[in-house]
Structure formats: C-alpha cells, structure tokens
C-alpha cells in the first residue's frame, strides 16, 4: 500500500510569472485567481502541513495514495487507544470545490481532535479541484475513494494494520461546505441504483449515516440570509465568493439551479427516494447559507427522512476550522460532541 509525503511540494503556490498570464477572468481575493489563458493561482493562505501530530493528542496520522493517475490521496487519523473496532468517517474538506486541501493545517487540527473526541477512524480525502477539474470530478473522486476503501476492507489481515481496527460495517460520510455537498451528491449517485444494487456494490462497506456541516448549496433565487445577513469583513464565505465558486465549479452553460448546486430545484434528486439512513446537518447562525440549509432540512423532514439538525449560535461559515475566537472554539467542541453522539447512537 503506497504512502505519500505531503509538504511544501504539495502546497498551493503562487506562480512567479503571474504577470505573464494576461487578463484575470475570475478572482476571490486572497484565495484564487483565474486568467483568461486558463492559468490558475492559489495563494497559500492556509499552510499545508505533514501528517505529524503532537503525541498528547493520542492520534496517529499518515497519508495514502488512493489513485496515482488522478493524484487522489487521503490522510488517515486513528486513535491510539481503542476498545473494539472503531467506526469509519470518510471526510471531504471544503473550499468551494476550488481551493482547500486535506493537508491544510486547519483541517489537520480539527480532524485529529475529532478522531480523538468521537473515537473514530477518519479518512480525509484530497480530491481534484475546479476549475481545472470541474464537477463532477470531485464526486467521481469521492466514489473512487469508497471503492478503494472497499478493496481495503476485502483485504483485511494483509499489510494494512489500520484495517484490523476499523469497523467497515459502521461507516459515515461527512464534510463541511463543498465537502458536505460532495458527501450528499455521492449518496445521490449511489441511490441512482435501487437500494439492493447500491448495497451490493458497496459490500463489505455499510453506510450508516451522513453528516453535513454547513452544506454548500446554491440557487438562482436568493434566500433571506443571502440577501440580508450582514457579514463580517473577515467572513469565510460572501455571496460574491459563493457565486464565483459556482461559476468555476459547475459545467459550462449551467446555472445555480443545476441539481449539483440546488438539490431542491425542479429536476433535482427526489428526496423521498434518497437516503434511508439518518442525516445530521450542522448550520451556523451567521452563515449566508443558513436559510438555504434550513430549507434543505425542512424538505428532508417533509420527505420523512430521519434528519436532525443543530444551529450553532453566533458563529459563521467554517468557524470550526478557521476561527480562533473563544466562542468559535466553544461551538467547535459542541459540534464534536454532537457528531460523537450521532455516530455512537446509530
């Protein structure tokens, strides 16, 4: 099983010859700049770190290549002390499909602490980014990661020490922002089969639930929180940034009512036929996506889905990874406890 070292060589770099690329067609200040000739710059706004962790966390982490041809890799987190086999949480990072990495320091810290708190093994998937790889590339990578996991489960007892600690029949999909969108759309793809076919295709993996943290959805019609919620200048997601991410990520010629963006739009997935397992949705009170996320939860409820949601007061989009305020840290601990209860209660 191949491993991969992640460090400065995989960091998001600024091109030294950026002045040579001409007209900028899309830009989110400090995060991404796209030129007319197709060149893309991503400033290293968040440092990329290796898998090393402080010993006192009680978690071991390492990186593994999932698919060398598309450069998909994953970072694993395994608690050092465990009683019996542990649940498996497959996690997708956020970043509007266009930025972000499983090696970002903020995700490394958050997921290491979550693995320790929730007593679970976490596989953090590093998928391909738009606009170089527009959707559905990220969804394809998510499915490929699950198929890779299936092969690991079938080869338990070989040279994979972590697989002996993993309960592959107790698996959850999770993600924040665009990562939550990826988790949801992976389920939509799996459910395009009938339930029996999907379950058979996944064996011996058994999906028990899905955790969506501030899911990144959109739509042509603005919600009240998108129109009127006053954002801090330091907010991690503005309406303008959201629109830019969707223009870069969606297929050419589509708009924000595309089913991948708006699961409630006409022609999108039928929620009544989707997801027979429990769903957890985390919503931030100061997030422009608040109303859209609440509408999504209400629609799941009307479709008789087993859904529970939490509204984290006084914090905004991505607070659990990008804000160092005392309130954000308190809310992040609350979120981890809620995730732990969701995983252990199924």
Interval 189-199: pLDDT, tens:
987 655 567 77
Q: Tell me how far apart the alpha carbons of residues 235 and 229 are, in angstroms, rounded to a whole number.
A: 12
- Would 144 be classed as within a structural domain? yes
**Which residue is associated with the tokens 């028990």?**
208
- Would 26 be classed as within a structural domain? no
- Would 201 be classed as within a structural domain? yes
- Would 169 be classed as within a structural domain? yes
Whether residue 71 is predicted with pLDDT greater than 50 in this model: the reply is yes
Report pLDDT digits (tens) over 34-60.
999 999 999 999 999 999 999 999 999
Instruction: Give the residue numbers spanning the domain of 78.
Output: 52-344
Number of domains the chain contains:
1
- Predicted confidence at residue 157, as pLDDT, reads 63
Q: Tell me how far apart the alpha carbons of residues 157 and 78 are, in angstroms, rounded to a whole number.
A: 17
- Would 3 be classed as within a structural domain? no
Q: What is the mean pLDDT of residues 140-169?
A: 89
- Would 272 be classed as within a structural domain? yes
- Predicted confidence at residue 346, as pLDDT, reads 63
Residues designated as active site: 177
Can you give the CATH number for the domain in which 339 is found? 3.40.50.1820
Residue 242's beta-bridge partner residues?
A: none
Is residue 177 within 8 Å of 317, Cβ to Cβ? yes
Segments of the chain assigned E as strands: 24-28, 32-35, 40-41, 59-67, 72-79, 86-92, 121-126, 166-176, 207-213, 279-284, 307-312
- Predicted confidence at residue 89, as pLDDT, reads 98
Q: What is the mean pLDDT of residues 106-132?
A: 98
pTM: 0.93
């Amino acid at each position: 099983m191949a491993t991969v070292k992640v460090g400065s060589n995989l960091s998001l770099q600024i091109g030294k010859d950026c002045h040579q690329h001409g007209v900028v067609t899309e830009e989110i200040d400090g995060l991404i700049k796209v030129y007319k000739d197709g060149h893309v710059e991503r400033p290293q706004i968040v440092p990329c770190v290796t898998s090393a962790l402080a010993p006192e966390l009680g978690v071991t982490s390492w990186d593994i290549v999932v698919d060398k041809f598309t450069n998909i890799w994953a970072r694993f987190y395994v608690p050092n002390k465990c009683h019996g086999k542990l649940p498996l949480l497959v996690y997708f990072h956020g970043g509007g499909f266009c930025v972000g990495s499983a090696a970002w320091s903020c995700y490394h810290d958050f997921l290491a602490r979550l693995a320790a708190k929730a007593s679970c093994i976490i596989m953090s998937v590093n998928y391909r980014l738009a606009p170089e790889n527009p959707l559905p590339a990220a969804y394809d990578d998510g499915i490929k990661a699950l198929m890779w996991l299936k092969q690991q489960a079938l080869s338990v007892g070989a040279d994979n020490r972590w697989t002996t600690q993993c309960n592959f029949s107790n698996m959850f999909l999770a993600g924040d922002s665009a990562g939550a969108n990826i988790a949801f759309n992976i389920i939509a793809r799996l459910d395009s089969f009938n339930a029996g076919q999907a379950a058979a295709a996944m064996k011996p993996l058994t999906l028990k639930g899905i955790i969506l943290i501030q899911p990144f959805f959109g739509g042509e019609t603005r919600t009240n929180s998108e129109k009127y919620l006053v954002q801090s200048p330091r907010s991690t997601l503005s309406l303008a940034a959201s629109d830019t991410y969707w223009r870069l990520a969606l297929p050419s010629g589509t708009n924000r009512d595309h089913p991948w963006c708006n699961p409630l739009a006409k022609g999108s997935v039928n929620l009544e036929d989707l997801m027979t397992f429990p769903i957890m949705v985390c919503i931030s009170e100061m997030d422009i996506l608040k109303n859209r996320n609440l509408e999504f939860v209400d629609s799941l409820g009307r479709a008789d889905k087993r859904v529970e949601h939490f509204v984290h007061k006084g914090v905004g989009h991505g607070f659990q990874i990008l804000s160092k305020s005392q309130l954000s840290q308190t809310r992040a601990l609350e979120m981890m406890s809620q995730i732990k209860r969701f995983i252990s209660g199924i």
